[in-house]
Chain A
Amino acid sequence: MSHWIIAPILIPALAGMLLLLEVRERHQLRRVTGLLSASALLAVAVLLWQQAADGSITVYRLGNWAAPFGIVLVLDRLSALMLLLTALLAFPALLYACRGDDRKGANFHGLFQFQLMGINGAFLTGDLFNLFVFFEVLLIASYGLALHGRGRARVKAGLHYVVLNLVGSALFLIALGLIYGTTGTLNMADFAVKAQALSGSDHTLLRVAVLLLWVVFGLKAALFPLYFWLPATYANATAAVAALFAIMTKVGLYAILRVYALAFASGPLAGLGRHALWALALTTLVLAAIGALGAKRLGTLVAYLVVMSVGTLLAAFSYGQLQAVGPALYYLLHSTMICAALFLLTDLVARGRGEAGDTIAAGPAIPHGGVLAVLFFAAAIAVAGLPPLSGFLGKVALMQAVPVPLYWALLLLAGLVGVIGLSRAGSSLFWRTLGPGDGVRPGRQRLLALLLLLAMVLALTLWAQPVLQATASVAGQLQQPQHYIQAVLPGGAS
């Protein structure tokens, strides 16, 4: 049995604890520890992807207790892909923060590592209650990170974020209680088997539990009507934190996809809540487009683009054909990378404009703003889905997979609105200048972090064919939940 599966949880946990022990004033040491951990995570994620790419599903029993009695970690293609994405995102975000943002608060590096631990754990676990625990780990780290650097706006947005997520946790526990009460198990594979055999009042209770789960995951994913916390929280967070948060909404999407593909793709409970999710996803798409058009700050605009990507993705997930999942996962990779890059770019623009910050209005010229303008142009093309970058390829693949006129219309309309919003922002920020200001030119390390993220988007464009094949293989594996169940419960259902 390979022990590497638990490494994505252990590496950040150990690094985080080490960072708590290290002397606070020795910033270089803490930065090196953090970056080393992020690099190790990247190496392990590549290794795990190679292991999972051949289609094998590896189960890691904690304490060697057999499922469904013990907690298991399960590595399949979907988990490996999400781990890889997290690691690819974490390194540039941390690199960006190491230029000075990490010194605004006491424990940035420790919190960052614990956040990574929570995210990785949520992607790996095969147990619903363990998923709750990892959600809480990533949430409590994210509370600290969202407030990092203080400031009035951050405290206000942070308070809303914390209260909403605490209510979400309570709902999650109610759902888990109902699931345990009706099926007698919390193991995902075992749950998938037992959910099929229920009848009568237990069946009704289970439906309630699953719909509650969709609500909780929808809150994490920022689905209408539960997305209102996102723009304020993300737009006010420190840039590197906002960039890392680009993966947080995807944790919610991952959880929906995982549970749905395992237990609700076929059988008597097939498609539970699917139509509601589809309608809500499309509503999210429309409202996020309106929000993007009305944004007064570039940070808010990018946050609404994150919400827009959630709507696009969830609509594809809930379309009902798991074939749509392959292109959707490609779009997920693309949108996470590009939104993170845009958050970093927003911060560079805000630094360059001094007091004007990232408000979309005439302001002082950015020193050496040409580089930023070119990068913004490229990133805007990618995120709005114009040819030739990966956003376009992702949307074309999605539209081929989901041949519904309404979806096509809304997706194209949202893309158009995104172009309008971004061109309005870009022309205000870079062209309507009022002469030199007190801003600073972008530093080399920060630019490097941004370029790393943009290079990944470019790589997604250049190697679109192999990446799409890989995501299609992930979707193919999700279509056969029996393999997952077989791997976790080798002796058949208990």
Chain B
Amino acid sequence: MELLVAVIIGVLVSTGIYLCLRARTFPVVMGLTLLGYGVNLFLFAMGGLKIDRVAVVGLNSDPTDPLPQALVLTAIVIGFAMTAFLLVLALRSQGEHHTDHVDGDDEGDREGRR
């Protein structure tokens, strides 16, 4: 269980970082989203992994820690809002510069490929 979660977080974060380093805005947005998923899972796992336990004291002998769930909820909401904003900004940037390159200018990119 721990290994599985650790591997999933690792894959999510590394894909996220790889995509963040791309030069186009859409992969960067996708990368940030994946990074966000990885981080949320990581936060969630920080309370300790327990299977089939409710986060309410008294319902069972060994409840899970509810605090990481509250933290993740906050992080999800904030991450969602930020991603929405970033998408609008990426569209705006494409409208202004007529390209989806993150520098608003793909001259150097084209020359690099030649």
Contact = CB atoms under 8 A, between A and B. Distances in A.
Interface string B38-52: 011011011100000
A167 B97 CA distance: 24
B35 A167 contact: yes
Contacts of A173: 39-40, 42-43, 75
Contacts of B39: 170, 173-174, 177
Interface in A141-160: 143, 147, 152, 155-156, 158-160
Interface in A178-200: 178, 180-181
Contacts, number: 81
A159 B89 contact: yes
A166 B82 contact: yes
B31 to A, nearest CB: 9
A180 B68 CA distance: 8
Interface string B15-31: 00000100001001000
Contact of A176 (B43, B79, B90, B97): B43
A163 interface: yes
B89 A147 contact: yes
Given A166-B82, A180-B46, A155 B75 contact: no
Contact of A136 (B40, B67, B78): B78
Interface in A307-359: none
Contacts of B79: 169
Interface in B51-92: 67-68, 71, 74-75, 78-79, 81-82, 85-86, 89-90, 92
Contact of A152 (B36, B45, B96): B96
B97 A155 contact: yes
Given A129-B71, A173-B39, A176-B71, A163 B93 contact: no
Given A170-B39, A173-B39, A181-B46, A159 B90 contact: yes
Contacts of B20: 163, 167
A260 B74 CA distance: 26
B67 A159 contact: no
Nearest to B16: A170
Contacts of B85: 140, 143, 162
Contact of A155 (B43, B78, B82, B93): B93
A20 interface: no
B68 to A, nearest CB: 7
A432 to B, nearest CB: 30
A493 interface: no
Contacts of A159: 25, 89-90, 93, 102, 104
A280 interface: no
A133 interface: yes
Nearest to A167: B20
A159 B105 CA distance: 13
Contacts of B104: 152, 155-156, 159
A170 to B, nearest CB: 5
A34 B28 CA distance: 36
B86 to A, nearest CB: 6
A36 to B, nearest CB: 28
Given A133-B78, A140-B81, A155-B97, A163 B102 contact: yes
A166 B89 contact: no
A166 B86 contact: yes
A173 B43 CA distance: 7
Contacts of B81: 140
A333 B34 CA distance: 40
A155 B92 contact: yes
Contacts of A158: 89
Contacts of B32: 163, 166-167, 170
A177 B78 CA distance: 16
6 contacts: A133-B74, A156-B93, A159-B25, A163-B28, A177-B43, A180-B43
Interface of B: 20, 25, 28, 32, 35-36, 39-40, 42-43, 45-47, 67-68, 71, 74-75, 78-79, 81-82, 85-86, 89-90, 92-93, 96-97, 102-104
Interface of A: 129, 133, 136, 140, 143, 147, 152, 155-156, 158-160, 162-163, 166-167, 169-170, 173-174, 176-178, 180-181
* 10 nearest CB pairs, A to B: A181-B46, A156-B104, A177-B46, A177-B43, A173-B39, A170-B39, A155-B93, A170-B35, A155-B96, A152-B96
Given A136-B82, A163-B28, 14 more contacts: A129-B74, A140-B82, A140-B85, A155-B89, A166-B32, A166-B82, A166-B86, A169-B82, A170-B32, A173-B42, A176-B71, A177-B43, A177-B45, A180-B46
